[in-house]
Amino acid sequence: MGGAGAIQVPATSLLALAAILFCIGLYGALTRRNLIIVLVSIELMLNAANINLVTFSRLGASPGLHGQVFALFTITVAAAEIAVGLALLLAAFRTRRSTHVEDMDQHKW
C-alpha cells in the first residue's frame, strides 16, 4: 500500500508498540494523583487504540482506509475530551486550589 521507498514496518512491532503505550497509559491513569497526568494517560491509551485501528486496517482481507477514518474520528473525540477535561479541571482548581484526584472526591465544590 506504500509508494516507492515506503518503509514496511512489521505488524507485530506495531501491535507491540500499541500494547506498551496502552499499558503505560493505563498505569498512569490508575496510579497518578494529578488530574493533568491522568488526562495525558487517557490520551496515550487513545493513541494506542489509533495505532491498532490503522494496523488492523492495513492487515485486513481487503486493505483500505476504514481504519484511518476511524482513527481520525478517535482523534477528534480525543481533542473534544481534552477540551472538556481541561475546562472541568480549571473549574475545579478555581474552587479547590488543587489538581489532585483525592481532593475531588466530594460532590459539593
pLDDT one-digit tens code per residue, 74-89: 999 989 988 998 898 8
Q: Which among 15, 9, 12, 72 has a CA at the least distance from the CA of 1?
A: 9
> Which CA distances in Å does 16 have to 11, 12, 55, 58, 59?
8, 6, 11, 16, 15
Tens-place pLDDT, residues 25-54: 999 999 988 888 888 999 999 999 999 999
More reliable by pLDDT, 72 or 60:
72
- Please name the residues in contact with 7: beta carbons below 8 A apart, sequence gap of 6 or more: none
Amino acid at 100: H
Please tell me the pTM assigned to this model.
0.79
pLDDT at residue number 98:
76
